[in-house]
Amino acid sequence: MIRKFTFIFFSLLLLVSCSFSPLTNKDIVQPGKQSELTAKEQIPMDFFPRNLTIAAVGDSLTQGVGDSTERGGYLPYLEDLLEQDKSVQDAAFYNFGVRGNRSDQLLKKLETEEVKDVVKNADVIIMTIGGNDVMKVVRENFSNLKMKAFAQEKINYEKNLTDVLNTIKEVNPNIKIVLIGLYNPFLKWFSEIREINDILEDWNSTSQAILAMYPGTYFVEIDDLFQNTQENLLFTDYFHPNDKGYELIAGRVHETLIKEVLKDLSYKRETTGNGESVIER
C-alpha cells in the first residue's frame, strides 16, 4: 500500500513539474525597468483635481475698477473658469489690488505682513502693474510727450519690478508668478498718438525680459485684445476695462494657468484659507 501511494505521489509530482516551465530572466520584472515604464506614463491633471491658493496684487485692474458687479475685475471670471475645469477642485483668491498703485507702491505692499502671510502659502501670485508708472509720465508731459521721459521712468520700473520679484521669491521660493501685460487704453480715442503704443510695447518687452531671468514666471499678453476688436471693452472712464474687458482678460490668464502654470505646480490637496475670495483695499 505504501509503495502504491509512493508511486502515485511521484507520478503527480512529475506531471506538475512538467506543466510549468522554469523562470527565465525575461520572466522576472527588473526594478529598473518597472520604474522606467512608470515614469513614461503621465497621469492626467484631472485625475486628482487640485485646490489652489491664488494671491492677486497690483493696481486698479486687480482691484476691479470699472467692474459693474464690484466683485474684483477679472478675478471672479477667472475663479469661475478655474472651478469649471476638471483639473481644479477649488480656488481660493486673495485680492490685494489698490487703485493707482505704481511699481514702487506695490513693492511696499508686498512687504506688509498681511500680504506676506498669504504669499507664503500661495501657489500662484498674479500681478497687474506698470500702467500707473506710464500714466505718471503721460500726465506730467501730455502736452509735450518725449520718449526721453518714458525712458527714465522705465529705468525706475525695471528696478522696481526686479525688487518685486526678489521680494516674492524670498517669501515663497516655490510660488508661480504671473504678470499681466499692459494695454493701450488710448488706442480708440487717441489713435493718432502712436508713441504711447510704442512705449507700451517696449515696456511689455522689458517685463518679459526681466521675467525670463526668474524660474516659475509667466507673462500674459492682453494688448491685442483691446487692439483687434470693434467692440468697446472700456469702462465709461475710457481707461479701465468694462465687464467684457475683464472677462476677456480672465480668459487669457486662465489659458496660461491651465496650459503652463499648473503643469509646473507640485500637487497640493488643501487650499490655504476658507476657499472664499478675500478683497483687500
In the prediction, which pLDDT does 46 show?
A: 54
DSSP string, 86-155: TTEEEEEEEEEE-TT--HHHHHHHHTSHHHHHHHHH-SEEEEE-SHHHHHHHHHHHGGG--HHHHHHHHH
Nearest Cα residue to 188 out of 148, 146, 226: 226
In the prediction, which pLDDT does 193 show?
A: 65
Query: How many angstroms from the chain centroid is the CA of residue 228?
Result: 24
Query: How many angstroms from the chain centroid is the CA of residue 220?
Result: 9
In 3-state terms, what secondary structure has residue 178?
strand
Question: C-alpha cell of 161?
Answer: 519690478
Cα 244 to Cα 258: distance, rounded to the nearest angstrom:
21
In the prediction, which pLDDT does 241 show?
A: 95
CATH topology of domain 47-276: Rossmann fold (3.40.50)
- Domain ranges across the chain: 47-276
In the prediction, which pLDDT does 219 show?
A: 98
In the prediction, which pLDDT does 186 show?
A: 77
In the prediction, which pLDDT does 257 show?
A: 96
User: Is the CA virtual torsion 139, 141, 143, 147 positive or negative?
Assistant: negative
**Cβ(206)–Cβ(167) under 8 Å?**
no
In the prediction, which pLDDT does 108 show?
A: 97
Burial of 212 per CB tally in 10 Å (0-12, 13-18, 19+): exposed
In the prediction, which pLDDT does 166 show?
A: 98
In the prediction, which pLDDT does 105 show?
A: 97
Backbone angles phi, psi at 249, to 5 degrees: -60, -45
In the prediction, which pLDDT does 279 show?
A: 42
Backbone angles phi, psi at 267, to 5 degrees: -70, 135
In the prediction, which pLDDT does 150 show?
A: 87
> What radius of gyration do the chain's Cα atoms show?
29
Each residue's pLDDT expressed in tens, for the chain with a length of 281 residues = 434 433 433 343 333 343 344 444 444 444 554 444 444 455 555 556 788 999 999 999 999 999 888 888 999 999 999 989 888 889 999 999 999 999 999 999 999 999 999 999 999 999 999 999 998 888 887 667 677 788 889 999 999 999 999 999 999 999 999 999 999 987 666 665 677 888 899 999 999 999 999 999 999 999 999 987 888 899 888 889 999 999 999 999 999 999 999 988 876 555 555 444 444 43
